[in-house]
Structure 1
């Protein structure tokens, strides 16, 4: 006799409550305007970008996948996990209506602050940020990546948008980790791995920070975003090595994040070099 693995096949990983999520998050004059959950897809970022180009979704759309088979990170890196073991979602935003193009580099950092602060409260973990877009928790005494962020610009009929994707390992067990050094909220001894309240917390935090930032015209200092990022950062104050395309590298102490969201590295000779996320391959401990 065979049994099918349905949505309730793993009682530790129940499906998301779509109706309750919509009731909690979609409000008149709120940022989120539509919310959909699909059972499985390749990439929520790719699906939402296609929908935007086709004119099927507007600003504030949220797309969530119970399982993502071809999730993408920076530089085409992949992200996958068992069904209902994490939060894999993308949102459609139009920041260029309020924010100068030079300040858009702060959007992935903003998403990191929103996720880290929300999960620190809702899951009871010390979530921190590795520049530019990694979320870390402490597992067995070491910092491990449990989440990532990817922002992609989309050209559509309404003048362009940004699809912002977030992937978070929630209930992954040690034997399910994609790489040995990865982590999850479960392995970090989170007080809760219930995905519904965790997702609500992250999306509410993202809406709050995004609204504050756009109302400030993208000024991270005025919005309080710059200070919040520094408080969440696990990179500042540490010696790092930025690996550059072509085999070059920049070494030194990470001393600041500048007005454009670039990491400022102070070399041993006293010079300071800002590096942008788009200009590096890896950032590692030196």
Structure 2
């Protein structure tokens, strides 16, 4: 699907007055600067997937720092190719292109976790919402007394030296618009603001800051402070969880740490500590 420019909406820019369009010019003024990470910010009205679009564009781009934002995605993907659906202009749906040449590829697995820290930090400041991270890459908010998923992160390789990271955040979704009962949004969590322009600027500035720290440390998660900060904000640690692993296997135990490779370490009933590098995590109860 060919992306539409943000001003070319079939329903009109102001078809939903509670959800105004993003201000592309203001975003560029606030984010694109000499010596900064972000060099181009594009906003489109509708596309299938910003990740797919940016992976395709990355093949012909030499520099990192591209940001592609969509007001609506029709074929958004989460982990394990799960669909992500939301009404137009109800959230932040964007992807960024990074090329961490100074960092060994073996440490690139930290990029989704780094993005989670950056998103949670940026939203806490800009929206006033207490956020937490579910390993490896879900953003959680509290609605009533329930922990609910309000966002997710998906990282994909772009050629030999690039990574495209996609972020989806439910901002103004109402209860009757949630795709599943256990989903949430910043609005439902009591955000002090659902104005997407400052929210996006806050998240991208936070991502630029954390990425700069991590890259300057050669991708070392301990030296950059990333490992400690992720653990402090991770709602998975200290819980009994079930890891649903590839090959229809599962493993239960207490989530006790995130190791230097970004893996979740489970302490099982057998007294063994098992690192989990990929899989779905189900929170069972507090340990």
TM-score, normalising length from structure 2?
A: 0.94
1:19 aligns with 2:25: yes
Equivalent positions of 1:31-46 (< 5 A) are 31-46=37-52
In the alignment, is residue 92 of structure 1 matched against residue 89 of structure 2? no
| Distance in structure 1 (CA, Å) of the matches to 2:248 and 2:41 | 43
Cα RMSD of the aligned pairs, angstroms, is 1.0
Tell me if the contact between 1:114 and 1:205 (Cα under 8 Å) persists in the aligned partners: yes
- Contact persistence 1:51–1:57 (CA under 8 A): no
Once residues 197 and 285 of structure 1 are traced to their aligned partners in structure 2, the CA distance between those partners, rounded to angstroms, is 32
Q: How does 1:206-221 map to 2 (within 5 A)?
A: 206-221=207-222
Deviations 1:204-248 (A, max 9, x none): 000000000000000010001011101111000000000112221
Q: Runs (4+) of structure 1 moved beyond 3 Å?
A: none
The aligned residue for residue 86 of structure 2 is 81
- CA deviation vs aligned residue, 1:24-55 (integer Å, no higher than 9, x gap): 000101000100000000000000111112x1
Q: Does 1:63 align with 2:68?
A: yes
TM-score, length basis structure 1: 0.94
* Counterpart for residue 170 of structure 2: 169
Q: Does 1:28 align with 2:49?
A: no
Contact 2:63 2:99 in 1 (8 A): no
Given that residues 110 and 221 in structure 2 are in contact (C-alpha distance below 8 angstroms), is that contact kept between their aligned partners in structure 1?
A: yes
Query: Does the residue aligned with 2:185 lie in a helix, a strand or coil?
Result: coil
Residues 123 and 129, structure 2, Cα contact 8 Å, conserved in 1: yes
Structure 1 residues not aligned, in runs of 5+: none
Q: Which residue of 2 aligns with 1:50?
A: 56
Please show how residues 156-235 of structure 1 align to structure 2 within 5 Å: 159-235=160-236
- Number of residue-to-residue matches in the alignment: 275
Equivalent residue, structure 1, for 2:151 = 147
What SS class does the counterpart of residue 22 from structure 2 fall into?
coil
Match of 2:155, SS?
Answer: strand
CA positional deviation for 1:17: 0.5
Shift of 1:9: 1.1
SS in 2 for 1:147: strand
For residues 224 and 61 of structure 1, the distance between their equivalents in structure 2, rounded to whole angstroms, comes to 25
CA deviation profile, 1:166-195 (whole Å, cap 9, x unmatched): 000000011111111100001001000000
